Chain A
Amino acid sequence: MIIGIDVGGTHADGVLLEGTKLVAKHKVIVDQDHLSETVIALLRDLIPEDRRQLERIHLSSTLATNAIVTGNLEPIGMLIQAGPGINPDFLAQNGPTWFLDGVIDHRGHIIRDPDTRLIDEAAAAMRQAGIDSVGIVTKFSYRNSIHERFIADRLGSRFSHICMGHQISGLPNFPRRVYSTWLNASLTQQFHRFKEAIEQGLAHLGIDCPCHILKADGGTIPFARAIEFPCESVHSGPSASVMGCLALAGQPSDSILLDIGGTTTDISLLVDGVPLLEPYGINIAGRPTLIRALNTISVGLGGDSAVGFADREFHIGPRRNGPPMAQGGTTPTPTDAMVVLGLLAVGSAEKAVAAMNSLGTGWDPEETAGRLLATFAERVRQAVAAMIDSVFSRPVYTVSALLHRRRIIPERLIVIGGPAAALKQILESCFTLPCTVPTDYEVANAVGAARTQLTAQATLYADTADGRVSIPEISCLEDIPNRFGMAEAETKLEQVIRGIASEMGMTDRPEIDFLERLEMNVIRGFETSGKILNLKAQIRPGLAAVKGVQR
């Protein structure tokens, strides 16, 4: 049995699953200042009588997201080595930052080592400022991590936590690596305290099963690993909701997932039944990062969005002015329209009619309500179309990729959230697609958290002309023979990912996808001097295989 917990902004939901069967569900109000207590309170009502039956707990929490939004992050020091390129001053906005003067080039060649005096001066200044946690990022560290590790070694044991850019992601993009590293280092101590509180609570409840944390990419990591990479726990809510849809109404086709809430609608896409990922990572508090994440967009359209009518058209959201008029509010909302049309039974029907009349459309309340919801659906449809366009426009670099680009053609809508059932028919006719509203959709996020499995990603860059291979995620930098080829590279990367997975406690043999494979001859002076191989592979986000009872 697995418990899934999703901590949201106001409520926290929990479910107990046996296989795919929902055994128990529970909901509590969230105390954002005491998250661990909220979690423990939920657990208390969910744990099965026979505790030995509980295999795992999966937790999607707002801890990291809250810390960022409220600016409640601990002070850290950043050591950044930019080398030639864009003026790096903008990277110093997060807090105390020291720039080092070493250079590693695009091929991972060391051009100049950093001046050790600068490192020592930075270390002394950080100690003096009481900084105990450090982030280190060098440009092109995903090609060659040696400077990051050299700088970390030089700082030695004087700091209790050091986070290096190459460990967070093997993908390129220096500013994103800087922001991810900064975020990771800034969250470390808080996450530590959270883990301790949860562990104490679990011990108190007599539970000793493993606890996994949900990530933004639709996967999980063990708590122990999350301590090292707390940034990965950011923004796990949307990923719980996507995985919940997948669990409750999974389709092996291209689909649109909508999570319609009070103020926003979250949109995500399934391609051949697999959730679509961001090309690099998620944006957090205005900062682009390399934190792997599902591609979700949030539009300011929800059941409680404020509605106005001017110039012969409806204006919906993005603001919310309190509750719908049917429930005692002062501003008309889409929820009021649903009440007028008898799609939703909340609050006062009379007040809902008054809401429609107050818009001054000149139509009768039913017509106003119908047109309002049609407009609502149309706005969502436009946002979905724009998202599909932007996915199609992602840059490609080969003739073959350009000629074989495939546009996502959705075959189905899967909708969850408060107004989901009420809007089903309107969405169907607007999108001209069948629309599924899964049962138990109110606990979709918690179910998603429970059913999610481990994910991992790693990248390999081999340069046989230089005789070296780099797998940044595991700080690997090894010599290779000149005959090292694509087959060897694939095997090596597969082994690495399997290793990461089994270290995280995965017992099944995971299926590994290769997302990128680039092989190129290095030509110097009209002769081939070697090959460059660049690979990216992952355990894709998906539902854990279920043993036992099927629904």
Chain B
Amino acid sequence: MNSFMPRAQNRTALILFPAFDWCISPTHPEREERLLYTRDQLIEEGLEDVDNIVFLNPELATHADIDRVHLCAPSSARLLTESHLISAGATLRIARAIMDKEAEKAFAIVRPPGHHAMQTVFGDRGFCIVNIEAIMIEYIRRHYGVRKVAIVDTDCHHGDGTQDIYYNDPDTLFISLHQDGRTLFPGTGFIRESGGPAADGYTINLPLPPNTGEDGFDMVMERVVMPILDEFKPELIINSAGQDNHYTDPITNMNFTAQGYARLNRRLNPDICVLEGGYSIEGALPYTNLGIILAMAGMDYSHVKEPDYDQARFRQPEEMSQYIAGVCDKALEVFANRGRTKKEALKKKVVGERKSIFYDTTGFNVDETRQYHLCPDCPGYTEVTATSPRARIHAFTVPFNACPTCQRTARNLFSAAQPVPQTITALQDRVADIYETK
């Protein structure tokens, strides 16, 4: 309509909500200032006037939206501030924009992030309390009946929270590209973490060596991510668009660039992006966010370069490329073998798993056990027990794709469970959209 402004090829919805009045603590990296320069760059670029790009305000998620995904102790109402409800609510708003065909692409540039938040929540972990992508996905499944979803997490830190929530769900493909867990928080995300007994091969981890640059990311996208997505055929692709692989990020060690992020995004072609980490707030975020937006919108991003960008500086050595090629091969093997362990597991009926979860912000450990109750007709329900120094959760969770038998069994077990002091006994039934505690 307006030929004096460029036009986005894909109608793109953006929520830019920098929450200038919220921080974890005044000097924490997740601080008020974090998206200031990004806001300044995007507004100065005139994105609000680009034809076919629309800016939306976030809304507040409800506690029911949170409880559909998480098991919170003491409760979602006690743990979450309004800022968390807004950042989660922003993802729900853009989800609706996509599902109601208001837009073809959507990006929530919001904080606080979410991908370190696991199913059980006792507090803030890795700057996250609730997993805003998972809250969005379960909202979409609940309201729009979508089944198969792929999440590609391009944050530099392993998306351990998202992995945890979807570990046993064969309808959610989770792929995480990150700096090797031996060198960075949260210390997980190895190739062998490949999914629960009902979903083995649907969690794909690509731990990349420190200093990986454009070449390495290009290789992983081309050899692993795209072929796997082609085969999985998701109805929706979500990008957990953390931007801390950037060469200027102060808390990571990678060599990725704005051009690299834009190219990755163009190739991935996600329906929805959700900002995760990224703490080089001046040198990276204004450019990486702009690059991602232009890539999504189908616009020219060739001029989006950091002022000190020099491609030659980021050539990676040959042995690094060979190492990454090895990671790619192993990841492909994981996906090729998907679903094979379920038959063995079915014979055992119940498979147990135990892990210790570290909450870095205030510094405590949670001891968690899961009993996966396997079912030939569905992924089965799970019994979760998690204990922190202050609280305990004992829950039965029924995934959205559970069969009526598993749903009934979980309900009966919950009804029979005796309330225990200091313990939240919960039933989370995503089929019936019920969250009950006693």
Which of A19-27, A420-428, A480-488, A518-526 contacts the other chain?
A518-526
Q: Hey, which chain B residues are within 8 Å of A85, CB to CB? A: 41, 44-45, 290, 303-304
B5 touches A288 (CB 8 A): yes
Q: Hey, which chain A residues are within 8 Å of B82, CB to CB? A: 399, 403
Q: Hey, which chain A residues are within 8 Å of B33, CB to CB? A: 520-523, 532
Q: Which residue of A lies closest to B282 (CB)?
A: A107
Q: A399-B83, A528-B27 are in contact. Are A84 and B304 (CB under 8 A)?
A: yes
Cβ of B174 within 8 Å of any chain A Cβ, yes or no, is no
Q: Hey, which chain A residues are within 8 Å of B304, CB to CB? A: 84-86
Cβ of B302 within 8 Å of any chain A Cβ, yes or no, is yes
B303 touches A397 (CB 8 A): no
B31 touches A107 (CB 8 A): no
Q: Which residue of A lies closest to B300 (CB)?
A: A87
Q: Which residue of A lies closest to B16 (CB)?
A: A395
Q: A87-B300, A179-B4 are in contact. Are A520 and B20 (CB under 8 A)?
A: yes
Cβ of A396 within 8 Å of any chain B Cβ, yes or no, is yes
Q: Which residue of B lies closest to A531 (CB)?
A: B33
A106 touches B305 (CB 8 A): no
B86 touches A399 (CB 8 A): yes
B58 touches A106 (CB 8 A): no
Q: Which residue of A lies closest to B40 (CB)?
A: A106
Cβ of A173 within 8 Å of any chain B Cβ, yes or no, is yes
A397 touches B27 (CB 8 A): no
* Chain A contact residue count (CB 8 A cutoff): 48
A523 touches B31 (CB 8 A): yes
The 8 A CB mask of B47-88 against A (1 = contact, 0 = none) is 111100001111000000000000000000000001100100
B57 touches A173 (CB 8 A): no
A86 touches B16 (CB 8 A): no
Q: A85-B303, A286-B2, A523-B27 are in contact. Are A175 and B46 (CB under 8 A)?
A: yes
Q: In the assembly, what is the distance between CA of A46 and CA of B305, in Å?
A: 61
Q: In the assembly, what is the distance between CA of A405 and CA of B27, in Å?
A: 29
B269 vs chain A, min Cβ distance (A): 20
B57 touches A88 (CB 8 A): no
- Most B CB within 10 A of own CB, among A82, A88, A93, A106: A106
The 8 A CB mask of B10-44 against A (1 = contact, 0 = none) is 00000011111110001101011100110111011
A8 vs chain B, min Cβ distance (A): 26
A393 touches B282 (CB 8 A): no
Q: Hey, which chain B residues are within 8 Å of A407, CB to CB? A: none
The 8 A CB mask of A102-126 against B (1 = contact, 0 = none) is 0101110001100000000000000
Q: Hey, which chain B residues are within 8 Å of A398, CB to CB? A: 19-21
Q: In the assembly, what is the distance between CA of A111 and CA of B282, in Å?
A: 13
Q: In the assembly, what is the distance between CA of A521 and CA of B5, in Å?
A: 35
The 8 A CB mask of B264-290 against A (1 = contact, 0 = none) is 000000000000000000100011001
The 8 A CB mask of A81-99 against B (1 = contact, 0 = none) is 0111111101001000000
Cβ of A139 within 8 Å of any chain B Cβ, yes or no, is yes
Cβ of A376 within 8 Å of any chain B Cβ, yes or no, is no
Cβ of B145 within 8 Å of any chain A Cβ, yes or no, is no
Q: Hey, which chain A residues are within 8 Å of B17, CB to CB? A: 397, 402
The tally of CB-CB contacts under 8 A between chains A and B is 137
Q: In the assembly, what is the distance between CA of A482 and CA of B294, in Å?
A: 38
Q: In the assembly, what is the distance between CA of A420 and CA of B50, in Å?
A: 37
Q: In the assembly, what is the distance between CA of A93 and CA of B4, in Å?
A: 7
Q: Hey, which chain B residues are within 8 Å of A491, CB to CB? A: none
Cβ of B339 within 8 Å of any chain A Cβ, yes or no, is no
Q: Which residue of B lies closest to A143 (CB)?
A: B40
Cβ of B222 within 8 Å of any chain A Cβ, yes or no, is no
Q: In the assembly, what is the distance between CA of A532 and CA of B82, in Å?
A: 25
B413 vs chain A, min Cβ distance (A): 40
The 8 A CB mask of A355-389 against B (1 = contact, 0 = none) is 00000000000000000000000000000000000
* One of B3, B6, B27 near A286 (C-beta < 8 A): B3
B430 vs chain A, min Cβ distance (A): 29
Q: Hey, which chain B residues are within 8 Å of A191, CB to CB? A: none
B155 vs chain A, min Cβ distance (A): 21
Q: Hey, which chain A residues are within 8 Å of B19, CB to CB? A: 397-399
B247 vs chain A, min Cβ distance (A): 15
Cβ of B403 within 8 Å of any chain A Cβ, yes or no, is no
Q: Hey, which chain B residues are within 8 Å of A396, CB to CB? A: 57
Within 8 A of B (CB), among A286-322: 286-288
Q: Which residue of A lies closest to B302 (CB)?
A: A87
Q: Hey, which chain A residues are within 8 Å of B21, CB to CB? A: 398-400
Q: Hey, which chain A residues are within 8 Å of B32, CB to CB? A: 520-521
Q: Which residue of B lies closest to A461 (CB)?
A: B40
Q: Hey, which chain A residues are within 8 Å of B308, CB to CB? A: 111
Q: Which residue of B lies closest to A90 (CB)?
A: B6
* One of A139, A172, A179, A397 near B18 (C-beta < 8 A): A397
A528 vs chain B, min Cβ distance (A): 7
Q: A86-B299, A179-B4, A402-B58 are in contact. Are A520 and B307 (CB under 8 A)?
A: no
Interface size class of B (residues with CB under 8 A): 35 or more
Cβ of B306 within 8 Å of any chain A Cβ, yes or no, is yes
Q: Which residue of A lies closest to B87 (CB)?
A: A399
B26 touches A174 (CB 8 A): no
Cβ of A441 within 8 Å of any chain B Cβ, yes or no, is no
B57 touches A86 (CB 8 A): no
B305 touches A86 (CB 8 A): no
Q: In the assembly, what is the distance between CA of A125 and CA of B82, in Å?
A: 57
B304 vs chain A, min Cβ distance (A): 6
Q: A112-B307, A393-B57 are in contact. Are A286 and B37 (CB under 8 A)?
A: no
Cβ of A140 within 8 Å of any chain B Cβ, yes or no, is yes
Q: A85-B41, A105-B307, A286-B3 are in contact. Are A395 and B26 (CB under 8 A)?
A: no
Cβ of A176 within 8 Å of any chain B Cβ, yes or no, is yes
Q: A175-B49, A395-B57 are in contact. Are A288 and B303 (CB under 8 A)?
A: no
A106 touches B307 (CB 8 A): no
Q: Hey, which chain A residues are within 8 Å of B22, CB to CB? A: 399
B306 touches A397 (CB 8 A): no
B292 vs chain A, min Cβ distance (A): 13
Cβ of A527 within 8 Å of any chain B Cβ, yes or no, is yes
Q: In the assembly, what is the distance between CA of A83 and CA of B56, in Å?
A: 27
Within 8 A of A (CB), among B280-328: 282, 286-287, 290, 294, 299-300, 302-308
Q: Hey, which chain B residues are within 8 Å of A112, CB to CB? A: 307
* One of B36, B43, B57 near A532 (C-beta < 8 A): B36
* One of A87, A400, A528 near B303 (C-beta < 8 A): A87
Q: Hey, which chain A residues are within 8 Å of B20, CB to CB? A: 397-398, 518, 520
Q: Hey, which chain A residues are within 8 Å of B6, CB to CB? A: 86-87, 90
Q: In the assembly, what is the distance between CA of A82 and CA of B19, in Å?
A: 28
The 8 A CB mask of A122-144 against B (1 = contact, 0 = none) is 00000000000000000110000
B46 touches A176 (CB 8 A): yes
Q: In the assembly, what is the distance between CA of A173 and CA of B18, in Å?
A: 18
Q: Hey, which chain B residues are within 8 Å of A139, CB to CB? A: 44
Q: A103-B307, A397-B18 are in contact. Are A521 and B49 (CB under 8 A)?
A: no
Q: A90-B6, A286-B4 are in contact. Are A520 and B294 (CB under 8 A)?
A: no
The 8 A CB mask of B192-203 against A (1 = contact, 0 = none) is 000000000000
Q: Hey, which chain A residues are within 8 Å of B5, CB to CB? A: 90, 175, 288
Q: Hey, which chain B residues are within 8 Å of A84, CB to CB? A: 287, 303-307
Q: In the assembly, what is the distance between CA of A398 and CA of B56, in Å?
A: 14
B264 vs chain A, min Cβ distance (A): 18
B97 vs chain A, min Cβ distance (A): 13
Q: Hey, which chain B residues are within 8 Å of A399, CB to CB? A: 19, 21-22, 82-83, 86
Q: Hey, which chain A residues are within 8 Å of B306, CB to CB? A: 84
Q: Hey, which chain B residues are within 8 Å of A397, CB to CB? A: 16-20, 39
A140 touches B307 (CB 8 A): no
Q: Which residue of A lies closest to B46 (CB)?
A: A175
Q: In the assembly, what is the distance between CA of A88 and CA of B305, in Å?
A: 14
A181 vs chain B, min Cβ distance (A): 14
A-B contact pairs, 16 of them (CB 8 A): A85-B45, A85-B290, A86-B290, A88-B303, A107-B40, A140-B40, A288-B4, A396-B57, A397-B16, A399-B83, A402-B57, A402-B58, A521-B26, A521-B27, A521-B32, A525-B250
Closest 5 CB pairs of A and B: A175-B46, A111-B307, A106-B40, A87-B300, A398-B21
